[in-house]
Amino acid sequence: MANHKHVAVLPGDGIGPEIVDEGVKVMKAVGDRFDYTFHFSFGLVGGGAIERLKQPLPEETLTQCRKADAVLLGAVGGPRWDRNPPHLRPEKALLGLRKELGLYANLRPAILYPGLESSSSLKPEVLEGVDLMVVRELTGGLYFGDKRTEKTADGLKATDTLVYHEHEVERIVHRAFQLAQGRRKHVTSVDKANILESSRLWRSVVERVAKQYPEVEVEHMLVDNCAMQMVRRPADFDVIVTENLFGDILSDEAAILTGSIGMLPSASLGEGTFGLYEPVHGSAPDIAGQGVANPVATILSVAMMFRHSFHNEEAAGMIEKAVREVLASGARTMDVASPGALALSTEEMGDKVVEAIRRQQDDP
Ligand code: NAD
Ligand code: IPM
Ligand code: MN
Name, in order, each residue with C-beta under 8 angstroms of 188's C-beta and a sequence gap of 6 or more: 218, 219, 220, 221, 226, 237, 238, 239, 240, 241
Residue 98 marked in a binding site: yes
69 among known catalytic residues: no
What's the complex ipTM?
Answer: 0.99
Across 225-345, where does the E strand assignment appear? 239-242, 265-269, 275-279
pLDDT exceeds 70 at position 1: no
Residue range 324-353: average pLDDT? 96
Residue 212 marked in a binding site: no
Q: What DSSP assignment string belongs to 9-46?
A: EEEESTTHHHHHHHHHHHHHHHHHHTTEEEEEEE---T
Percent of the chain at pLDDT exceeding 90: 98
Catalytic residue among 5, 25, 92, 192: 192
- Chosen CATH of 121-257 out of 2.30.110.10, 3.65.10.10, 3.30.710.10, 3.40.718.10: 3.40.718.10
Catalytic residue among 36, 104, 113, 143: 143
Residue range 141-166: average pLDDT? 97
Q: Which residue's CA lies nearest to atom 30 of ligand 1?
A: 282
Average pLDDT across the chain, whole number: 97
pLDDT exceeds 70 at position 163: yes
Residue range 305-316: average pLDDT? 98
The pLDDT of residue 322 is: 98
DSSP annotation of 229: H
The sign one gets for the Cα dihedral 339, 229, 236, 304 is negative
Q: pTM for the whole thing?
A: 0.98
Taking the domains of the chain in order of start, what are their residue ranges? 1-109+263-364, 121-257
Residue 171 marked in a binding site: no
State in Å: Cα 289 to ligand 2 middle.
21
Confidence of residue 57 (pLDDT cuts 50, 70, 90): very high
Q: Which of 10, 94, 242 to probe ligand 2 with, by most ligand atoms within 8 A of CB?
A: 94
Residue range 226-247: average pLDDT? 98
State in Å: Cα 36 to ligand 3 middle.
32
How many other CB atoms are found less than 10 A from the CB of residue 10? 29
224 among known catalytic residues: yes
What are the Cα distances from residue 217, in Å, to 25, 121, 189, 212, 356? 40, 30, 11, 11, 38
Helix (H, G, I), strand (E, B) or coil at 149: strand
CATH code at 1-109+263-364: 3.40.718.10
Are both 1-109+263-364 and 121-257 of the same fold?
A: yes
Confidence of residue 361 (pLDDT cuts 50, 70, 90): confident
DSSP annotation of 140: S
pLDDT exceeds 70 at position 299: yes
pLDDT, one tens digit per residue, over 168-216 is 999 999 999 999 999 999 999 999 999 999 999 999 999 999 999 999 9
Strand partners, 5: 38
Supply angle C-alpha 210, 105, 203, rounded to 5: 35
Is 300 or 363 the better-scoring residue by pLDDT?
A: 300
What are the Cα distances from residue 180, in Å, to 149, 186, 213, 214? 41, 6, 10, 12
Q: Which residue's CA lies nearest to atom 6 of ligand 2?
A: 91
Residue range 18-35: average pLDDT? 97
pLDDT, one tens digit per residue, over 250-298 is 999 999 999 999 999 999 999 999 999 999 999 999 999 999 999 999 9
The sign one gets for the Cα dihedral 42, 47, 53, 56 is positive
The pLDDT of residue 363 is: 66
